[in-house]
Amino acid sequence: MSQVPSPVTVIDQLPEALQQRKALARRFKDIEYRHYRDDWRHIPRGTAVFGETVVYGYPHIGRVLALEAGLKAHFQAPFWAEEKINGFNVRIVRIGEQVLALSRGGFVCPFTTDRLPDLMPLEVFTRHPDLVVCAEVAGPDNPYLESSPPFIEEDVELFVFDLMRKNQAGFLPYRDKQRLIETFNLPPVPLHGYFHPHEVGRIRKLMLRLHEEWREGLVFKEDSPRDHRAKYVTGNINIDDLRAAADNLLDLPAEYVTNRLLRLSLFVEEHGLPVDAELERALGAALLEGLHQAVAKFRREHRVYTTFRCRFRERENAELMLEHLKRASHQVQIRRRDLRREGDHWLLEFDRIYPSLTGMLGDLLAGRLVFD
Q: Which residues bind a second copy (CB under 8 A)?
A: 60, 62-66, 68-74, 230, 249-250, 254-255, 257-259, 261-262, 264-266, 268-269, 275, 277, 279-285, 287-289, 291-292, 294-296, 299, 360, 364-372
In the complex, least distance from residue 286 CB atom to a second copy, rounded to whole angstroms: 8
What is the distance between the alpha carbons of residues 271 and 170, in angstroms, rounded to a whole number?
34
Query: CB 314: neighbour CB atoms within 10 A?
Result: 14
Minimum CB distance to a second copy smaller for 141 or for 247: 247
In the complex, least distance from residue 168 CB atom to a second copy, rounded to whole angstroms: 22
Minimum CB distance to a second copy smaller for 115 or for 260: 260
What is the distance between the alpha carbons of residues 299 and 49, in angstroms, rounded to a whole number?
47
Asked whether 122 and 99 are in contact (CB, 8 A), the reply is yes
In the complex, least distance from residue 17 CB atom to a second copy, rounded to whole angstroms: 21
Residues in the chain: 372
Minimum CB distance to a second copy smaller for 2 or for 369: 369
Minimum CB distance to a second copy smaller for 24 or for 268: 268
What is the distance between the alpha carbons of residues 57 and 103, in angstroms, rounded to a whole number?
9
Minimum CB distance to a second copy smaller for 39 or for 349: 39
In the complex, least distance from residue 299 CB atom to a second copy, rounded to whole angstroms: 8
Minimum CB distance to a second copy smaller for 277 or for 343: 277
In the complex, least distance from residue 300 CB atom to a second copy, rounded to whole angstroms: 12
CB burial readout 52-84, b (16+ within 10 A) else e = ebbbbbbbeeeebeebeebbeebbeeebbbbbb
In the complex, least distance from residue 140 CB atom to a second copy, rounded to whole angstroms: 23
Spatial neighbors of 297 by CB under 8 A, at least 6 apart, are 303, 304, 305
In the complex, least distance from residue 91 CB atom to a second copy, rounded to whole angstroms: 19
Minimum CB distance to a second copy smaller for 94 or for 229: 229
* DSSP string for residues in 252-305: S-TTHHHHHHHHHHHHHHHTT----HHHHHHHHHHHHHHHHHHHHHHHHHSS-E
What is the distance between the alpha carbons of residues 128 and 124, in angstroms, rounded to a whole number?
6
Asked whether 146 and 130 are in contact (CB, 8 A), the reply is no
